[in-house]
Amino acid sequence: MNRVDRAFHGQDGAGTLLIGYATAGFPDPETSARVAAALLEHCDLLELGLPFSDPVLDGPVIQESSRRALEAGFRISEVFDLAADLRVKTEKPLLLMTYYNPVHRVGESAFARMAATAGFDGLLVPDLPLEESGSLRAEAASHGIAAVLFASMTTPDERLGAIAEATRGFLYCFAVKGTTGLRASLAGDLAPFMARVRSRCRVPLALGLGISNPGQCREAGKLADAVVVGSALVKASMDALDGGGDPAEAAGELAASLRASLRNR
């Protein structure tokens, strides 16, 4: 059984899982490794984002962290090195978040193999919808990696069913119509959306995009099996970095408070 499946199966009503996020190579390989390790102390799963030059689904924070990682000379191999280093220390699931073009450039088969060898358990490609992802899903499956698909409030019912059938590990539900990033409040129609997804999908559901503080995390946690927090964690480390603090400590502290908000739902 894949580590992602184990994480969700082992839930036993103990509470909602927390999925954290770090941009690989931001601001440099060593620091991003420390940030990732700090997040793993409190998160149940960790997404590592592969910086891309044109991140169309990302808001200002992850755009900025990606830009700075690339400016520092980030290469694809670094995300695999990072995962391999973390894998030695943890049995928690590691998920690779990347736009499709780097995968296409390296080759789907080679990319899936490299991800598996590095110790990744899941692969998320937000610009690769159901129809375009068949071959990559097959490659991922053959390497024991869960290819996670996405659902949006704009997704019609019938399509939701097809996506739920094709996704592996869990279904990533977008909490907002928009890009990643911090927002003042959660969307008002989140509960009916999640009810709609729940009634059509038997897979575990993660809710992410725009969830940035413990209050929002607690609210989202009532609707999903896992909550994803990305930009807020990156912002915490970025702010600490720019203010002369310790980015790993800052990200870890926020992750701890997010984790606490999900207990005893």
Q: Which is nearer to other proteins, 10 or 107 (CB)?
A: 107
Distance in Å, CB of 178 to other proteins, minimum = 4
Q: State how beta strands 45-49 and 205-208 pair.
A: unpaired
Residue reference for tokens 């990559």: 136
To the nearest 5 percent, what fractions of the chain are helix, strand and coil? 50, 15, 35
> Is 58 among the residues known to form the active site?
yes
> Is 47 among the residues known to form the active site?
yes
Q: Of 3, 93, 100, 115, whose CA–CA distance to 44 is shortest?
A: 93
Task: Tell the burial category of 190 from Cβ atoms under 10 Å away from its Cβ (0-12, 13-18, 19+).
Answer: buried
| Residues counted in the chain | 265
The answer to whether 207 and 228 have CB atoms below 8 angstroms apart is yes
Strand boundaries in 137-259, DSSP class E: 146-151, 171-174, 205-208, 226-228
Distance in Å, CB of 74 to other proteins, minimum = 8
Q: Which is nearer to other proteins, 193 or 259 (CB)?
A: 193
Q: State how beta strands 146-151 and 171-174 pair.
A: parallel
Distance in Å, CB of 169 to other proteins, minimum = 16
Q: Which is nearer to other proteins, 36 or 175 (CB)?
A: 175
Q: Which is nearer to other proteins, 19 or 128 (CB)?
A: 128
Strand boundaries in the chain, DSSP class E: 17-23, 45-49, 94-97, 122-124, 146-151, 171-174, 205-208, 226-228
Distance in Å, CB of 173 to other proteins, minimum = 9
Distance in Å, CB of 137 to other proteins, minimum = 15
What are residue 222's phi and psi, to 5 degrees?
A: -75, -20
Distance in Å, CB of 150 to other proteins, minimum = 4
Contact residues: other proteins, CB under 8 A? 52-57, 59, 63, 67, 70, 75-76, 100-106, 126-132, 149-156, 159, 163, 174, 176-179
Which SS3 state, helix, strand or coil, does residue 172 take? strand
Q: Which is nearer to other proteins, 176 or 256 (CB)?
A: 176
CA 39 to chain centre: 12
Catalytic residue among 5, 44, 47, 139: 47
Q: Which is nearer to other proteins, 104 or 265 (CB)?
A: 104
- The residues carrying an active-site annotation are 47, 58
